[in-house]
Chain A
């Protein structure tokens, strides 16, 4: 009986570890392989504080959470510089260092013999020793941690994490602060894992380095993969399965050391089987975006375009003006002394042959590249050194030639995530003002639906973005851009690859945006479309603006046309 209860406790601990790891891997796409380190820090901190300093519950737990959260923030630092495999290796390296510290800093950690005699968890004079008494505590802690992970995962913050996973630059282009997202999710994930560590120390009354080896991180990873990345309930299921599966080995008489080896073999084989036969895991990532919200929150009888585009007052002068921009890549001059002037209510076309520097100009104007010289002003305010998400918040947004939609998110979420000033993007607001965040998100969902209705994608709201047709994807790009509420909209080839009807639809949308006092700039190659769409043209060649003016006049210039078609 005790064995069954013990297995129950272990499932609870691993459920905490797997759900918190899922926030990193499944939601954020950050493959950081140091989760066992967070688990270890929680365990050691609790053991030392309880045993050496005699701190009563809940002080050791709180201290463990704070300390581990801080270490999580520190580990987030390399992830800001490196990604992909470099992140994996860096975090694995940190884990090996952590194990060395546990084994060799004997004065603190007890070295290879670890720390034994950790007192059982005692709350108000009541000691919870042994599996039977501990199981309810473990289950309660697991439920609380799950609730926190679920709350965050399904919040605007969690949505931003998934957007970052799908495409980091696109997430920045809709105003998300990548730095904050990464640091936040690392801190949170580490803090949750430390809860499992803290419980572990009390429960086993022993803490040693052998419990936190790299294989432990691999085990937690297996649970996440088996349960399904991006699905928190799946992680609980994965934890249960992978704890139960090798538990049967306890009943077989095996030579010393053999059981541990077989367990690892089972984990490895299960992982391979899942990767081969069901790579998405047992439970798929749920489609999010408020299934009921659109209907519940849409005011009855409201016209579909209501609130889709925030009206802006007509203002004289240029919205965005850049003077003397320069950019070199090594020895190649990509942009040289370029001036751009975008006025609100006007559609400016940026044209020129391939390699003229059009996309580079966009990158400079939106902070994705830093100019070597020149200055950029928005309504007179200097913002040369701002990062992309800050520029979006200031009122300058862009789209990408290769779309960069958040493909494994719903159409609705693609728009929802781009809406400005979401208090739910901040972790603090999620916990301090949960109801306000929920109300705001319901209103935002209605607004996103209105934008989709305006753009003509209302009926596709709950489909995944990757299931859209090409023309629909191009529409969604415009919808996502509208959602930022930016005054200056830069669209990189919004019309390319479209047939006449679809092209006309987007041109009409751009016209309506211009009529609502947006300053619009598009990159385009099709001269017919340019004549049709643009009020003003800038002709770019070899990084310089060769000519500027009314489209018809420029197109009658034989020299420009010769250059364009050469």
Chain B
């Protein structure tokens, strides 16, 4: 039972990170319909930017984290503005844009490896406080992740519902052509969406940096997790992404109760596969965003 409780807590912690990944990815895909594989390397860019700020420049943790988030937002906007948008403007098929995003993610991965070597980079002086609640250990990072999900979800919801930009983003996600007809600058809105989506994923990246450190390929699994979460939750729904994130986190963590650790990776993918076969529109697609 103690093990179960501990796995539950771990699942909630990881699930929070997954929810953030799904929120960012779902926002980008739901609005622009671009399958953004380069989401992975940009996630890694965020971690490295924060790591450089903290260890090389010696900045405080909060500022380093902010630099990581800003770096990812810039990188995400750059990928859209310099790669995807010109492609779409030339009338290339969505398959070509998809292959481009794959190619970009390979190139960025390789460049990160060449720049930072494949070894793990950590912030040595950082250790997260640990709280002991009866039989269960809870780290400050896990609590921070949960708080981050709450904050991001609240801000995103307010932003989408209450601001002109948010309304434009929702309109674009609903119907791109119609949005253009009513005078929405779809290119600029897409750029903003790429920046916001990348920034949301960067929060998860900073937590990963603090938890495990940064590696050049650290974004490989998160792209899939993000996709699994967004699809499981129903693309483009904030409550869906959060529910999907915690579902994947909990299933993956509680699965360890019965399944050996080395199979943990596969659990999320098996879940995705089953959802695709049974309910391709997502488990929570009824929820409004």
Contact = CB atoms under 8 A, between A and B. Distances in A.
Contact of A218 (B95, B106, B224): B106
A97 interface: yes
Contact of B113 (A29, A89, A261): A261
A100 B265 contact: yes
Interface stretch (A48-56, A180-188, A268-276, A530-538): A268-276
B98 A265 contact: no
Interface of A: 29, 31, 77-78, 81-82, 84-86, 88-90, 92-94, 96-97, 100-101, 103-104, 215, 218, 221-222, 225, 257-258, 261-262, 264-265, 267-269, 271-272, 275, 279
B113 A275 contact: no
B92 interface: yes
B35 A85 contact: yes
Interface stretch (B179-187, B189-197, B272-280): B272-280
Nearest to A93: B269
9 contacts: A85-B35, A88-B98, A97-B273, A222-B103, A261-B114, A265-B114, A268-B104, A271-B103, A275-B99
A113 to B, nearest CB: 14
B158 interface: no
Contacts of A262: 110, 114
Given A90-B272, A93-B269, A103-B262, A275 B114 contact: no
B110 A268 contact: yes
A466 to B, nearest CB: 13
B167 interface: no
Given A218-B102, A269-B107, A90 B276 contact: yes
Contacts of B107: 265, 268-269, 272
Given A85-B35, A86-B276, A100-B263, A275 B100 contact: yes
B277 A104 contact: no
Contact of B269 (A97, A104, A269): A97
Given A89-B231, A267-B106, A268-B107, A78 B276 contact: yes
Given A81-B276, A97-B266, A261-B113, 5 more contacts: A77-B277, A96-B266, A225-B99, A267-B106, A275-B103
B207 interface: no
A307 to B, nearest CB: 38
9 closest A-B pairs by CB: A268-B106, A268-B107, A265-B110, A271-B103, A93-B269, A100-B266, A104-B262, A85-B35, A90-B276
A339 B151 CA distance: 57
Contacts of A93: 224, 228, 269, 272-273
B252 interface: no
Given A264-B110, A272-B100, A96 B276 contact: no
A261 B99 CA distance: 19
Contacts of A31: 95, 98
B270 interface: yes
A82 B276 contact: yes
Nearest to A33: B102
Contact of B118 (A90, A92, A257, A279): A257
A81 to B, nearest CB: 6
Interface in B231-289: 231, 260, 262-263, 265-266, 269-270, 272-273, 276-277, 280
B36 to A, nearest CB: 10
B227 interface: yes
A258 to B, nearest CB: 8
A271 B83 CA distance: 13
